[in-house]
Structure 1
Amino acid sequence: MTDHRAAKTPTLRSLSKRQWIKICAGAAVIASVVGGGLATRGIYTQHHQQTPTAQVTAFSATDSEAASRGDVRTPLDGTSYVKVVVNGKSQNVFGTNFTDVKSVLDAADITLEPTDTVSPALDQKVSENTTITIERADAKMQTVEQKVPFNTIRKEDPNLAKGEEKVETEGQEGILENTNLVQMAGDKVVSSNTFTSWLKKAPVDKVILVGTKTEAPKATSNTNSSSNANSSSNSNNSSSSAASSNIGTTVPVGEMQQWAHDYLLANGGTEADFTATVYIIGHESGWSVSATNPSSGAYGLPQALPGSKMGSHGADWATNYQTQLRWFWDYCKSRYGSIQGAYAFWQANHWY
């Protein structure tokens, strides 16, 4: 006979101890698998959602974002500059590896007096936004103009008779504007040091044309006369072409120019190289070793930007005219092929 009674459904109470152990063990395994999967998923998600932090390695000193790029300025060429204000007059001090205020003042060759007040403190680290302010008692800034002598250039002219001379351009002195820090004791000037200088007006060289033309021999016949005339014409054209490329011979003025002249000629240079040197330096700095462009901070005889570039030719680049000139000549050769190449570029563009 078939049994039509419903099968008994096990209840929690009806489970044996062994069955309870099996159920708990199974639940533990499932929990560990699920938990491990979630943990692994968390690690994977975290690894792929993290955004790498951008590392700033360099920036332009004129960049508007510069202030957010670190506490120590590290421009592309490894140099930096810090603004220094003395009694209201400011200048940019260029150098390398500035660390604190004292390192900047040392680079600027600024010697503090016992009564000077400096802000921030000498051991304060400098950043791209640092402005060093110095107040010097019993001192004032005094602006004076200094005359820059002009040079005399002699150029050959085939259109003038040999031995004849003619002034093509009258010379004019230039003007160098110096700002001096003057220390006073009552009405007496105790000391005066040049704080900044810049070329306010470039000198104009005096140009003297020197004739090289010689009289052609008298013709003996019409044919010869025509031939000689053509020959003379060709000769004059050739001389004229040569004269156009001749930038003349310059008479040195002062110790720096005399050294430059002698150094160039002793090292394979020419009179034309010296003339080109005198012209460029005269128009860039007025032959002031410490000339500083008030807007860009370009420095020295060749107006190197920054001036510390000249350090490749000597640690005394800030004060030694010989170091500055050697750097200038090498710069002209590397960028324009020659000193006269730089001169030609300056003539066409009014900068180099």
Structure 2
Amino acid sequence: MNAARHSRTASWAPTKRRVLAGAGAASMAMFVVAGVGIARAHSTVNLEVDGIVYPVSTWSHTVSGVLSQADIELGEHDKVQPAASQYVANGQTIVVRTAKPYTLTINGDRTTLWSTAPSAEGVLSGLGADSTKAVLAVDRSYSRSSLTPLVTQTRTVTINVDGSSRQVTAREGMDTRAILNKEKINLGPLDRVEVKNADGLTIDIHRVSRALAPRKVPIPFEEHGQDSDQLFVGEEQVTTKGVEGESEELTWSENVDGGEAYAAPLNSKVTREPTAQIRSVGTKEVTPKALIEAGLDPKATLEEKTEADGTKSIRYRAKLGTFSTAAEITAAGGNSAEVAQAMVAADIPLTYSGEDPRSLAKPLVSARGWGDSEFQCLVALWNRESHWNPYAKNSSSGAYGIPQALPGSKMASAGSDWQTNPVTQIKWGLGYIAGRYGTPCSALGHSNSVGWY
């Protein structure tokens, strides 16, 4: 047996008729020579070609001479015994085995193997250690006369077809086609038949179909980075989610046993362009004060997270007060209005350490034309509400600041620093009292009667 990827060098194929003709020609040559009176030794040998034996009378003394006289030309992969250069004796037998090409798949690699084995079983068995890893493709284009028998002795063979298995008896000399016909297994024009010798001799039939069909194919989107001063250095987050595009392809596909084995697009048309994904990359300097003003703990570290839309982000995430006390936050960020506002927003209790808000309120009360009695009513009213603490917050109602505005954001009409500036809060509170009650004493009287103003 010889593995190769070449075709045979000769077109000759032995048949019973050709062997007989060759043998007859050799015999005639003997008589013609004898007729002219040339006395020369001759011999009779037996010529066996692929199991068919014929006697040949010859004047040749070598194997090659006998084959030439019998008009037998050896192919590149054929075998002869004895060797062509050997001498032959009277009565000796010359054995010729012609080789055929077989398509095999071994460990996933497709190759062509020339073999003189008399059956498909013999072809596989001759592979030695690879025999259980090899798959022999049965060439359905061969004519009946050139079909290789499946077995040389009667044995049981397994047929796997259409998702089921069956055990059948393969008789000596039967080829694969004959066995399938006997079992009434019909083959489509594209179906593939393979023979394996793993765990017993097996015939596998694979149903093959081919089709042209349109299909939608996704077009992946690209991702681009973009600097952002809204994110800290080290932070990154997808700010525009990418969207796949789509193309429509006319595809030629081959399906084997119901599954797609191969597909090749013939033409393609883009029906929707992809939208690029934008990943913002932070450029803002990371400082404790900057983290605090952003509502983050100064001890926060970068954390990776999968967002609700499935994208990955890296951010400082620990909220203000998660790791640090109010004193640590103040020490890290400084005693500024921005830090105080961040602490208020994070519900971190603050202690007011500035000028007494009551002294700040007195000139504002006088500016409205209210006397000392009205100022005293105001002091009593806001003592009850907040003890004049600009950071006072009612945990149940959400009222905030010295006047306990509900919600506290109402005071933004008096200034953007309403969360931390007592003067802004006082101005708003006096305006509210004047518009709702007329004077602080009237507001106090209402509070005394119902508990709120």
Q: TM-score range by the shorter chain?
A: 0.3 to 0.5
Asked which structure has the greater RCO (Cα within 8 Å, sep 6+), the reply is 1
Bigger Rg, structure 1 or 2: 2
Relative to its length, the structure with more strand (as a share) is 2
Question: Scaled by the length of structure 2, what TM-score is found?
Answer: 0.27
Relative to its length, the structure with more helix (as a share) is 1
Question: Scaled by the length of structure 1, what TM-score is found?
Answer: 0.34
